[in-house]
């Protein structure tokens, strides 16, 4: 599921960080890899129009 806003980005990064120690091959690791791809895609797509620094809470 693509990330569509900075708020969703913030949530995805937080979930990614919670999954940092998931064992290889686990559902958590697979979710972490999905989030990694989605986060990177968001940054590529929005790199020119993003605010500098940490996304603020809305």
What pLDDT was estimated at residue 51?
65
Those residues whose C-beta lies under 8 Å from the C-beta of residue 46, and which sit 6 or more positions away, are: none
Write down the pTM of the prediction.
0.79
- Rounded to the nearest angstrom, the gap between the alpha carbon of residue 41 and the centroid of all alpha carbons in its chain is 9
Mean pLDDT of 53-57: 64
Instruction: Quote the tokens at residue 29.
Output: 């690791």
pLDDT score of 57 more than 80? no
> Are the C-beta atoms of residues 16 and 35 closer than 8 Å to each other?
yes
Judged against a pLDDT cut of 70, whether residue 9 lies above it is answered with: yes
Query: What is the CA 45 to chain-centroid distance, rounded?
Result: 13
48 or 12, which is more confident: 12
């Amino acid at each position: 599921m693509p990330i569509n806003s900075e708020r969703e980005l913030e949530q995805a990064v937080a979930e990614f960080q919670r999954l940092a120690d998931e064992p290889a091959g686990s559902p958590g690791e697979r979710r972490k890899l999905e989030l990694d791809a989605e986060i990177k895609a968001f940054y590529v797509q929005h790199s020119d129009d993003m605010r500098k620094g940490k996304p603020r809470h809305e």
